[in-house]
Structure 1
Amino acid sequence: MSTPPVLSVRDVDVVRDGNPILHEVSLTVRAGEHWALLGSNGAGKSTLLGLLGALTHPTRGHVEVLGHRLGRVDMRQLRSYVGHVNPRHDLRSPLKVHDVVLTGLTNTLERVPRWQPTHEQVAEADRLIALLGLGERRDARWPTLSQGERGRALIARALMPSPRLLLLDEPATGLDVAGREQLIERIDTLQHTYTGLASVLVTHHLEELPPGTSHVMLLRDGRCLAAGPADEVLTSDRVSECFDHPVRLSRVDGRWSVRAGRPARRPGLATASV
């Protein structure tokens, strides 16, 4: 018997202040799948991610997160089982990296007064900090971290409760090339380390997709343009339609790149366009 999906979205509409944001969107995510939501600004990516993270309700349709249908479950409790990484983490106190990661257990911005983690929880926080490449920054204060270091610390924080689902909302926002590549490398490591973990990543840029991205949904004007295995969905024609601009795609060593214009036929081209 097949395992129930981690996420199930069926014929969802979202309307805000009379404005349609999502229209008849359906999505199924299973354990071990790593999805990317791609589309231009205003396509509905963040709105859909909010549904997947049990942050908001659909106007119409059904959403099930970890087997629980929205509208029939305590949303706050359900969110504690989802690893939601938002780079706009509104932390204002100078917590150490280690303490930031531990707040993933209490699902709070700050350390809860008089709450003390167990030895096992402290060890797990240290393991995740090392896994995200921040071992030497364990005791660094939040204000001193680079944007890339903050992003990786927040991923470690999200993994503390051992979630079955990890949601990444534009994790490479504001990063320089080095920070972006370090982040993608660590996300790829996670995808290979946690084989049962499902993830959904929102981005505008194909260059930010980790090599382990297994599935993609293209959104345009609140509608699903295409969804399925990444190699089938990410074609030059479909991505051009999604962003309303002619582009050509290529893939090298598992990483996607995009150039303007239609594929050119040139003999001896080293990388194949799709």
Structure 2
Amino acid sequence: MEGVNDVTPTDQDWLVDFRGVELRRGGKTLVGPVDWQVELDERWVIIGPNGAGKTSLVRMAAAEEFPSKGTAFLMGEQIGKTDMRDLRALIGISSAAVQSRIPENERVDDLVVSAGYAVLGRWREEYQDMDFSRADEILAQVGATHLKERTWGTLSEGEKKRVVLARALMTNPELLILDEPSAGMDLGGREDLVGYLGDLAMDPDAPAIIMITHHVEEIPYGFTHAMLLDEGKVVAKGLINSVLTSENLTRAFHQPIQVDRIGQRYFARRASL
């Protein structure tokens, strides 16, 4: 990665500090260059069409990818000068990639409690009663208490989303990353989850949150900032009300989009011509 020497230190209130960051694969730039800072109390949503670079950007913020270019700090540590494993311990992730690695026969309560050891597939680790109590509490918060004795392979897609979210919260992360957390849920399940995430976003003791979604309807109340991506480039970023406009979404999705705000929620549709 370029730019790891002789750089200005980051602000300690920034959990993510990207300066001219790019991610390239096979000679193609997947995302960037991006300048982006995420503070301790911010809740970000990243929106864009398929192939816009959302997941590539978030994988760097999750310490799962090294930037190909630019300077990146996570949790105050400069990427390229610190152990990425230490950073990952401070980040909770809910994503399809995590789901794909979970053993089919893993019990839900074991899956959540084992987050403390950063393992998928409980084996010989020893846990205390307080660990199981916290797992029960978090499962209740995400509406998944009734799933605790089920195995992973028996869950629906929506149920899996809830359980992976509970696992991501188990370790009290400093940064919570949600990659399409309500994908695969029916309307009722989605609204339940959006409500929970809204309450979490409003909690001053909650971690900073970065969420990817394709749909503005899935953005919980309490989110403070937004970034629009298209073809790896930033269309707009900043305070959510200034980013989620009809003009900006029209640019990002290359068709006329009308955005409305009803209460604390956003709704989008193709504009009538």
Note whether the superposition's TM-score is higher than 0.5. yes
Deviations 1:167-190 (A, max 9, x none): 011112222222222221221222
- The answer to whether residue 169 in structure 2 is matched with residue 159 in structure 1 is yes
Distance 1:195 1:251 in 2: 27
Report the alpha carbon displacement of residue 3 of structure 1 after superposing the two structures with TM: 5.0
Instruction: With the length of structure 1 as denominator, give the TM-score of the two structures.
Output: 0.90
Aligned residue for 2:270? 260
Aligned with 1:4 (options 3, 7, 13): 13
Aligned with 1:181 (options 181, 191, 205): 191
Aligned with 2:182 (options 172, 186, 198): 172
Aligned residue for 2:33? 24
Please tell me whether the aligned partners of residues 151 and 183 of structure 1 are also in contact (alpha carbons under 8 angstroms).
Answer: no
Single out whichever of 139-148 and 97-106 deviates more from structure 2: 139-148
| Structure 1 pair 3–196 and aligned structure 2 pair: CA distance change class (3 A) | farther
Distance 1:116 1:80 in 2: 18
Question: After superposition, where does 1:185-264 map in structure 2 within 5 Å?
Answer: 185-193=195-203, 195-261=205-271
For residue 96 of structure 2, give the secondary structure of its aligned residue in structure 1.
coil
Deviations 1:21-71 (A, max 9, x none): 122211111112110111111111100001000001111111111111111
Distance 1:81 1:143 in 2: 28
Aligned with 1:49 (options 58, 64, 68): 58
- Structure 2: segments with no counterpart, 5+ residues: 1-10
Aligned residues: 261
Q: CA RMSD in A?
A: 1.6
Distance 1:206 1:156 in 2: 23
Distance 1:77 1:198 in 2: 18
For residue 6 of structure 1, give the secondary structure of its aligned residue in structure 2.
strand
- Structure 1: segments with no counterpart, 5+ residues: 265-274
Report the alpha carbon displacement of residue 199 of structure 1 after superposing the two structures with TM: 0.6
Aligned residue for 2:106? 95
Distance 1:53 1:104 in 2: 16
Report the alpha carbon displacement of residue 145 of structure 1 after superposing the two structures with TM: 2.0
Aligned with 1:107 (options 97, 101, 118): 118
Aligned with 1:77 (options 73, 79, 86): 86
Distance 2:250 2:42 in 1: 25
Amino acid at match of 2:107: K
Please tell me whether the aligned partners of residues 22 and 223 of structure 1 are also in contact (alpha carbons under 8 angstroms).
Answer: yes
Aligned residue for 1:269? none
Please tell me whether the aligned partners of residues 37 and 201 of structure 1 are also in contact (alpha carbons under 8 angstroms).
Answer: yes
Report the alpha carbon displacement of residue 83 of structure 1 after superposing the two structures with TM: 0.3
Distance 1:3 1:23 in 2: 24
For residue 62 of structure 1, give the secondary structure of its aligned residue in structure 2.
strand
Report the alpha carbon displacement of residue 196 of structure 1 after superposing the two structures with TM: 4.3
Single out whichever of 234-243 and 194-203 deviates more from structure 2: 194-203
Amino acid at match of 1:59: S
Please tell me whether the aligned partners of residues 87 and 154 of structure 1 are also in contact (alpha carbons under 8 angstroms).
Answer: no
Distance 2:237 2:192 in 1: 28
Report the alpha carbon displacement of residue 93 of structure 1 after superposing the two structures with TM: 3.0
Amino acid at match of 2:130: E
Amino acid at match of 2:87: L
Question: After superposition, where does 1:31-42 map in structure 2 within 5 Å?
Answer: 31-42=40-51
Distance 1:116 1:185 in 2: 34
Report the alpha carbon displacement of residue 130 of structure 1 after superposing the two structures with TM: 1.0
Please tell me whether the aligned partners of residues 148 and 183 of structure 1 are also in contact (alpha carbons under 8 angstroms).
Answer: no
